[in-house]
Structure 1
Amino acid sequence: MTCERPSNLLVAGASGIGKAWLIKALGKCACEKELTVAYYRMIDLAEKLAELRSEHNVRAFTQRLQMKKLLIIDDFAMGDSPCKALSTYLLRNIDSRQGVASTIVAAQRNWMEWHSWINDPATADAIMDRLLNYSYMIELKGRSLRELK
């Protein structure tokens, strides 16, 4: 995370494969290097934004997130497609971090399926263009770590 142009990381894999463990370990390493880190599950981030939108505090929250050297979004593309406001927020946040800070996104769906999860094709194109062209990609495979031995 100390390179001249910060990169992103996309992690995909089935439930229980170790995505959360991996991204949290990377977040911990960033903290140990005294970098600022924020971790959100996608559903929690969506709820937080909806709450802040009703209070008109989205801009302050966005500015705080943009100051973090590493933003981790877990469980991306889970559940229903995001509303237009959330899709737009994701685009603005990812775009503003390009070349300035790093973002890790983890999901059960492969990143090639994320486009169809986002309802608005133009916003989906923009988000995926920024993520795919500035990211390392890891697809975890294997059995669930939660399986009984």
Structure 2
Amino acid sequence: MLRLPRLLEALGLARSDGRYARVLKSLARVQLLVLDDWGLTPLTPEQRRDLLEIVDDRHGRAATIFTSQLPVPDWHEWIADPTLGDAILDRLVHNARRIGLRGESMRRRAARRATVVDANQES
């Protein structure tokens, strides 16, 4: 699992030191790529193009999971480029399965349990 903001930052560094094509090729080969925190931070124009390259290389060839707290209807606006947004989302939506989760965050639940355990240990 990779956090999307860190991956896009790493791709920018790879571009500057000549490893860009090699990194994209390695991402294309992964059977299941999980990209966490989709929509967390704004995209630069370069990152939009990187995202299209990743999605295009994997489209129809390998599984990709995107996790996001950003509602799906807001994804196009988040990409902030109508042409690239259409291209990226077209590849994502084609043959996609959407799983919506409801309820409390696992981290919040775990933190609350830890607080209860700590309180019990102090008694």
Please report the TM-score for the alignment, with normalisation by the length of structure 1: 0.69
Larger radius of gyration: 2
Q: In angstroms, what is the RMSD of aligned CA positions?
A: 1.3
Q: What is the CA distance between 1:129 and its match in structure 2?
A: 1.1
Question: SS in structure 1 opposite 2:97?
Answer: strand
Match of 1:54 in 2: 16
Runs of 4+ in 1 over 3 A off after TM superposition: none
Cα deviations across residues 114-141 of structure 1 (Å, max 9, x unaligned)?
Answer: 1111121100111111111221001111
Amino acid at match of 1:61: V
Find out whether 1:116 has 2:82 as its counterpart: no
Match of 2:121 in 1: none
Q: Which runs of 5+ in 2 are unaligned?
A: 114-123
Cα deviations across residues 34-64 of structure 1 (Å, max 9, x unaligned)?
Answer: xxxxx21011102101211211211000001
Match of 1:65 in 2: 27
Whole-angstrom CA distance in 2 between matches of 1:98 and 1:55? 27
Match of 2:89 in 1: 128
Q: How many residues align?
A: 110
**Where in structure 2 are the equivalents of 1:1-149 lying within 5 Å?**
39-79=1-41, 81-145=42-106, 146-147=108-109, 148=112
Please report the TM-score for the alignment, with normalisation by the length of structure 2: 0.83
Percent of pairs with identical residues: 34
Higher percent of residues as helix:
2
Structure number with greater CO (CA < 8 Å, separation at least 6) is 1
Higher percent of residues as strand:
1
